């Protein structure tokens, strides 16, 4: 059986109990998105007197798909604008999943729009589709730029497919994804120049401009202005790098006014280390200890070239940090008891939560070998101070292993169904843990996890 450091009940002494804040944003956001889509359809309906013949139906369908595709582009940009209200209440990974799903639908709508419009127009003008395509691209205002935007959309969709995505590094995929900004910019003009629902319709034009300018302002603020201002304000630098376990290091950072970040345990930031080979990318890493006014810490496992390079950072290296991001915080808690379930380097956000969550908290930390249990001394000290229960589960030696099943978890935590569960670890481990927790009777609403796979 796994080792247990303490078996007494967690009193949470010294920690202030706080009623979790329940936000309506996760429920209102989809409602707002679908209401906007209904408004787009109403625009087509109000501007369409009748639809006659196959050509009319095809052209009408092309107009609808084009309007929805344009609206979807604005929504996709807003979802990834890193707006704190959305990010902290819905969660970064959930927003990313919405973005990915919406991206697939958007590419499909764009492709359908192009094919339907060409087909409908060719029937109306009694020409073949090749001739009609040439006429549209070369003679309609802004359609040459729109065509380039369409090709960029297709390329982005292909590169975002799972098979292609697996063959690229996160950094390469991230920067190629910026092509969508150019695609949207190139495509925007032709919507107003050629769209039957906008030509001569001043209120519709104003509404469309307002939508896209508003989203552009959000992007400019939260993706660019805020990170630059915080970089200047906080003056983050690497203080020292400390090895924690084989292939795992902690990077300690110092700076000014770090309490103004309002970073909560469980959240992450996107870190840009201004040194050779690292300055051009910002990768997400969780805080592995509560933020202090002049000190932050992340703990990173070597899984690629970027994370491997962090072990060799020189003290004094300047750092720009974007964030904090994520909703993996104490605000998600709904029950009196909490189980923190970590796998490997997934301990990093849970270690911060273990120190700060009030009440009865149990930690299960799974790793391949005992040597891989990073931050163990700190966890032991926190457990002793809190009189909390900690289970270390390792695959080797076998005598300390425990299956990641409903029965195995229930043996460690007998009243498991009464707990909120914060879960962080590799994708396979997370998937197995969610299945085991649900089988053990833990409601889905009480299983909280975030992933950086976006």
- Round to whole Å and give the CA distance between 368 and 378: 19
Q: What is the pLDDT of residues 358-387, one digit of tens each?
A: 889 999 999 988 888 999 999 999 999 998
DSSP string, 37-98: HHHHHHHHHHT-----HHHHHHHHHHHHHHHHHHHHHHHHHHHTS--HHHHHHH-HHHHHHH
Contact by Cβ (8 Å): 167, 118 = no
Contact by Cβ (8 Å): 320, 333 = no
The first and second tokens of residue 115, run together, are 């094919």
- Round to whole Å and give the CA distance between 449 and 446: 10
pLDDT attached to residue 176: 75
Three-class secondary structure of residue 1 per DSSP: coil
Contact by Cβ (8 Å): 177, 103 = no
The first and second tokens of residue 143, run together, are 């359609």
Nearest Cα to Cα of residue 116 among 56, 74, 72, 73: 56
CA–CA distances in Å: residue 1 to residues 142, 392, 393, 398, 409? 69, 9, 8, 9, 11
Burial (CB count <10 Å: 0-12, 13-18, 19+), residue 203: exposed
Beta-strand runs (E) in 352-418: 360-369, 389-396
- Round to whole Å and give the CA distance between 326 and 348: 14
- The Cα angle at residue 322 between residues 425 and 22, in degrees rounded to 5: 65
pLDDT attached to residue 2: 41
- Round to whole Å and give the CA distance between 159 and 172: 10
Q: Please tell me what DSSP assigns to residue 166.
A: T
The first and second tokens of residue 168, run together, are 């690229």
- Round to whole Å and give the CA distance between 415 and 395: 24
Residue 53: cis peptide before it, omega within 30 degrees of 0 = no
- Round to whole Å and give the CA distance between 257 and 259: 5
Q: Token pair 């319709």 is at which residue?
A: 201
Q: Which residues pair with 236 in a beta bridge?
A: 319
CA–CA distances in Å: residue 154 to residues 68, 164, 238? 17, 13, 41
CA–CA distances in Å: residue 362 to residues 120, 306, 328, 380? 63, 33, 17, 12
- Round to whole Å and give the CA distance between 335 and 294: 33
Burial (CB count <10 Å: 0-12, 13-18, 19+), residue 207: middle
Three-class secondary structure of residue 351 per DSSP: helix
- Round to whole Å and give the CA distance between 410 and 426: 21
Nearest Cα to Cα of residue 210 among 41, 31, 39, 95: 39
pLDDT attached to residue 453: 53
Q: What is the pLDDT of residues 172-181, one digit of tens each?
A: 777 777 788 8
Nearest Cα to Cα of residue 341 among 318, 370, 316, 363: 363
pLDDT attached to residue 148: 92
**Phi/psi-derived region of residue 226, left when phi > 0, alpha when psi is between -120 and 50, beta in every other case:** alpha
Strand pairing class (337-343; 360-369): parallel
Residue partners of 106: CB distance under 8 A and separation at least 6: 69, 72, 73, 76, 153
Instruction: pLDDT tens for the chain, 454 residues: list them.
Output: 344 333 333 444 444 445 555 678 888 999 999 999 999 999 989 888 778 889 999 999 999 999 999 999 999 999 989 999 998 888 888 888 898 899 999 999 999 999 999 999 999 999 999 999 999 998 888 889 989 999 998 888 887 777 666 777 666 777 777 788 899 999 998 888 888 888 888 999 999 999 999 999 999 999 889 988 988 999 999 999 999 988 899 999 999 999 999 999 999 999 999 998 888 888 889 999 999 999 999 999 987 777 888 989 999 999 999 989 988 888 888 888 999 999 988 999 999 999 999 889 999 999 988 888 999 999 999 999 998 999 999 887 665 667 889 999 998 999 999 999 999 988 888 999 999 999 999 998 899 987 755 4
pTM: 0.79
Tell me how crowded residue 292 is: count the other CB atoms within 10 A of its CB. 13
Q: Please tell me what DSSP assigns to residue 295.
A: E
């Amino acid at each position: 059986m796994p080792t247990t450091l303490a078996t007494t009940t967690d009193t949470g002494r010294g920690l202030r109990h706080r009623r979790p804040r329940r936000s309506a944003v996760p429920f209102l956001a989809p409602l707002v998105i679908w209401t906007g889509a209904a408004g787009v359809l109403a625009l087509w309906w109000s501007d369409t007197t009748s639809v006659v013949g196959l050509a009319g139906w095809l052209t009408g369908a092309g107009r609808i798909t084009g309007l929805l595709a344009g609206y979807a582009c604005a929504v996709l940009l807003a979802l990834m604008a890193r707006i704190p209200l959305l990010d902290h209440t819905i969660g970064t990974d959930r927003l990313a999943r919405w973005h990915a799903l919406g991206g697939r639908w958007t590419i499909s709508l764009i492709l359908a729009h192009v094919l339907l419009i060409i087909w409908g127009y060719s029937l109306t003008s009694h020409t073949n589709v090749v001739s009609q395509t040439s006429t549209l691209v070369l003679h309609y205002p802004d359609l040459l730029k729109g065509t380039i935007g369409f090709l960029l959309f297709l390329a982005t969709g292909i590169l975002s497919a799972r098979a292609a995505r697996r063959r690229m590094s996160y950094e390469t995929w991230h920067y190629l994804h910026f092509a969508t900004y150019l695609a949207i910019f190139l495509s925007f003009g032709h919507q107003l120049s050629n769209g039957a629902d906008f030509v001569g319709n001043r209120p519709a034009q104003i509404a469309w401009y307002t939508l896209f300018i508003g989203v552009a302002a959000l992007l400019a603020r939260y993706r660019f202005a805020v990170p630059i201002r915080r970089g200047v304000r906080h003056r983050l630098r690497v203080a020292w790098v400390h090895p924690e376990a084989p292939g795992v290091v902690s990077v300690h950072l110092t700076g000014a006014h770090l309490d103004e970040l309002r970073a909560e345990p469980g959240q992450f930031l996107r870190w840009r280390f201004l040194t050779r080979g690292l300055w051009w990318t910002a990768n997400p890493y969780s805080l592995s200890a509560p933020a202090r006014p002049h000190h932050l810490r992340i703990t990173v496992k070597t899984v690629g070239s970027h994370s491997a390079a962090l072990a060799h950072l020189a003290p004094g290296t300047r750092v720009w940090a974007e964030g904090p991001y994520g909703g993996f915080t104490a605000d998600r808690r709904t029950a009196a008891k909490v189980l923190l379930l970590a796998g490997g380097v997934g301990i990093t956000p849970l270690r911060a939560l273990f120190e700060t969550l009030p009440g009865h908290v149990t930690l299960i930390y799974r790793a391949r070998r005992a040597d891989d249990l990073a931050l163990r001394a700190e966890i032991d000290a926190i457990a002793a101070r809190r009189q909390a229960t900690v289970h270390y589960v390792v695959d080797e030696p076998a005598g300390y292993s425990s299956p990641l099943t409903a029965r195995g978890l229930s043996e460690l935590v007998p009243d498991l169904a009464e707990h909120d569960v914060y879960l962080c670890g590799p994708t396979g481990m997370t998937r197995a843990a969610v299945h085991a927790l649900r089988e053990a009777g833990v409601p889905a609403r009480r299983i909280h996890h975030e992933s950086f796979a976006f």
